[in-house]
Amino acid sequence: MSELDIEKHVNCGIEQALKIFGDRWSLLVIRNVLMGINRFDSLQDGLDISRNILTRRLNDLEEEGLLVKTPIKKGAKRMMYNPTAKCLALVPVLIAMIDWSKNWSLDKEKKWSSVVDRSTNEEVHIAIVDENQQPVPMSNLKLRF
């Protein structure tokens, strides 16, 4: 059995999140948009995603309020896609995934993507904390779903 206790299922944040970005491409589109890649064609050839699928993802993410689609300049018909605050708020999810991959990947030598503090240039990581920002060990956790 798991090291974590069991409890009843309530409205699940994981399910909710997966409904919005739980497909093959959304998080990669988000990653690239967060890096400032905001035009259709550069997203398309950066990701090597099919154009029709990219169209759909961009529209869905816009509808969910993760992206804003605006003309590249006033009145222009060509668009750019920029992250909203709701999108930026996914950075902890991305860092958690990066941390996990780095810690559990077999090829330890490789250079990994990371997120750094701009002022110190040091890598940042994810910590599990209580209400007072004090770290909580994993072994102390109980999942409530």
Partner DNA sequence: CTTAATAAGTTCTAATTTGGAACTTATTTA
Partner DNA sequence: TAAATAAGTTCCAAATTAGAACTTATTAAG
> Of residues 11, 36, 48, 74, which one binds DNA by CB under 7 A?
48
Beta strands 67-71 and 79-83: pairing type? antiparallel
Give the binding-site size for DNA (rule: CB under 7 A).
24
CB-based burial of residue 66 (10 Å sphere; 0-12 exposed, 13-18 middle, 19+ buried)? buried
CB of 104 to a copy of itself, least distance (A): 5
> Of residues 27, 34, 49, 124, which one binds DNA by CB under 7 A?
49
For DNA, the binding residues in 53-82 under the rule CB under 7 A are 53, 55-56, 58, 69, 72-73, 76-80
The CA–CA distances, whole Å, from 124 to 23, 35, 53 equal 26, 17, 33
For a copy of itself, the binding residues in 19-78 under the rule CB under 8 A are 22-24, 27-28, 31, 33-38, 65
125 binds a copy of itself (CB under 8 A): yes
> Of residues 16, 50, 105, 113, which one binds DNA by CB under 7 A?
50
**Residue 5's beta-bridge partner residues?**
142
Beta carbons of 18 and 27 less than 8 angstroms apart: no
Beta carbons of 94 and 31 less than 8 angstroms apart: yes
